[in-house]
Chain A
């Protein structure tokens, strides 16, 4: 059997394969459900309407924030709940005792969440450019913002799921406690350049700031950070969230 081959390159391929298998499992069980899609589509649209209706703000200027928010909420919505659900259903034990490494399991969860966020992003993007005067001016920034943002937000979801609990409601509370404040300090509603000095100190601590900034550039607005800074920052957040999630899981196994 190919699993007998112990060469490093083969072991890498096996683990990437395992991650993709787990991502497919997550998609089938957690993401390809009508209520989940509905949440991902309706939530950002209502946020957009909440800030556009009755305000003397050009609608197109709200589109980057709406897109960033849509990506943030969809890519990090379900991920925090998967591990607690699986602990509760005892299927987490099935994964941990399989030939998939902890890193593969977490990577699979990340891939599924990022894929979901990317897929759902398309609808608010289409809405934004058809219902307002917003236009895609920088495709590279759009792709970078979408991919790097979805991966970073998915990694945040994986980190939130690493809490040692089999009670999803506990994680949901923690998840909202972390995510909701971030949207107010991340240049989603107010561009970073227009924020007060306190905002410009806090904003760089949020991955959403960099994603929102890339998407502003993608739609022809001024960027606060150079593109490369946003890309590096999102990559660093991704690596940091993933490493911390892995550490928390390893510590739990020692204490379990």
Chain B
């Protein structure tokens, strides 16, 4: 077997359920100290991939290495390097915050002399110190999410899996989690595997992202490179003080126009947004329309995501239209 090249290395990871192939020969590598985003529409195979990597589900074919340990043949050693925060809250509701934390510390073999100190530090960092005696069932969703993060970190993992960590959280909790994860990555070199539907979050946090569609990897690259590859999704965004009678027109026949804000705003997608912006300003002036704002936009990660997941995967596992 080839030498491992990363903190996480998926090698033709496959999962079948009867005739359905949920994950189809997925291969990628996550570098040590990287925040790696794993994106995909519902049912694309994200959760199945994560469950194989964390050992909850056995792969049908293929394998993966976590910190050099094979998840199939050396599963216990692989899981020792992990912290996992699943999408659905799974704290023990009959145990207190402290008891939940110490349970995970003990399972990860943290020595008694250290686990109390680690536990105190984590609870302080995540604002849970005053709730250490509270039972899990009394915590709000946001506090449970923070507790799950503490439970994942108390074993000092090298790799942490975060499955939709800020889903359904208030702004303050979501920001706290994002900032803490980014700081731990920066200061402690923690490798983070993040699945999220929040593309702005992935855009802000992730060094690289992979997009999975229908069980296959559609693209793997930095958010900037992925955005840059979708030239046709560059746009001009204009809003008028009053809705015009007709849609703005530009010379680029391949340009597409979308309206928003009740018809007062328009987004014109094309390859040359600069000249398009000038044409729109001239068009508006000729009709006596007053422009409230006008700007050019680079493709967002959401644009990339929608573009790549709208395209069916190519048989044989090669991503279609992937950036070169």
Contacts and interface: CB of A to CB of B under 8 A. Distances in A.
22 contacts: A1-B109, A21-B103, A21-B106, A28-B94, A28-B99, A29-B95, A90-B88, A90-B90, A93-B56, A93-B90, A97-B54, A97-B55, A97-B56, A97-B79, A97-B82, A99-B79, A99-B80, A99-B155, A100-B107, A101-B76, A253-B58, A256-B56
A17 interface: yes
A48 to B, nearest CB: 32
B156 interface: yes
A21 B107 contact: yes
A254 B58 contact: yes
A90 B89 contact: yes
B80 A97 contact: no
A74 B5 CA distance: 52
Contacts of B283: none
B123 interface: no
B84 interface: yes
A188 B130 CA distance: 53
Interface residues of B, number: 33
B92 A25 contact: yes
A96 B56 CA distance: 6
A2 interface: yes
Given A28-B95, A94-B151, 16 more contacts: A2-B111, A18-B107, A21-B103, A21-B106, A25-B92, A25-B95, A89-B90, A90-B86, A90-B90, A93-B90, A97-B82, A97-B84, A99-B109, A253-B56, A253-B57, A256-B57
Contacts of B89: 90
A73 B94 CA distance: 24
A11 B74 CA distance: 12
Nearest to A95: B107
B119 to A, nearest CB: 15
A17 B90 contact: no
Residue among A25, A89, A97 with the highest chain B CB neighbour number at 10 A: A97
A99 B58 contact: no
Contacts of B106: 17, 21
Contacts, number: 78
**Nearest 5 pairs between A and B by C-beta?**
A90-B90, A3-B109, A21-B106, A97-B54, A99-B80
A90 B111 CA distance: 27
Nearest to A1: B109
Contacts of B214: none
Interface string A52-94: 0000000000000000000000000000000000000111011
Contacts of B103: 21, 25
A254 B267 CA distance: 49
Interface in B152-176: 155-156
A156 to B, nearest CB: 25
Given A98-B108, A99-B109, A3 B94 contact: no
A78 to B, nearest CB: 13
A238 interface: no
Given A96-B55, A97-B56, A99-B107, A29 B77 contact: no
Interface string A17-30: 11001100100110
